Amino acid sequence: MTEPASPAPHPAPHPTRTAHHPAVAHELALAGDVQLRIADLITRFAGSMPFVYVHVAAFAVWMLVVERSPWPTLTLIVSLEAIFLSTFVMIGQNRQARFQRIKADHDFVAQEQELHVNTDLTRVIERLVREIHQSVAPGAGDGPPAPSA
């Protein structure tokens, strides 16, 4: 009986590579960008209850003390704030979409590699089964029937 061919071992991790998923590594690289950090801070604060409390208090003071009805300046301020906050939300959504796309691309490649490894292992196992069958029952035919595709 011949020595079975072993599948190629998985390569050892490169010493300079990080253990992070590529999408996470990309996000970590972007985390150093000052503009993105500022946008993240603003978005994080704008999505919190302290943001709501500050605005309730500020609007109440503005409407009761600073400007009498119909509050044209307050309307302008609130409209501008909505424009800027929606921009920060879009920045966050774009970053999340980019993260998901990078992760999906990496996962696809990893799954394709696993499929190839599993296919190779299945072929080796099938060959070994045929060799064992030949050594145990020589002349009993070509071994078990070939799997149907």
Which structure tokens are listed for 22? Answer: 């590529």
Residues 44, 98, 88: CA angle, nearest 5 degrees? 30
The pLDDT tens digits for 10-43 are 444 444 544 666 767 766 676 667 888 888 888 8
Q: Is the peptide bond before 70 cis (omega within 30 degrees of 0)?
A: yes
Block residue for tokens 């490169």 = 14
Specify the amino acid at residue 43: T
Contact (Cβ atoms closer than 8 angstroms) between residue 37 and residue 82: no
Where do the domains of the chain lie?
A: 22-105
Q: Per-residue pLDDT for the chain (149 aa), expressed as one digit of tens each?
A: 445 455 445 444 444 544 666 767 766 676 667 888 888 888 889 889 999 999 999 988 988 888 877 788 889 999 999 999 999 888 888 888 888 888 888 899 999 999 999 999 999 999 999 999 999 988 765 555 666 65
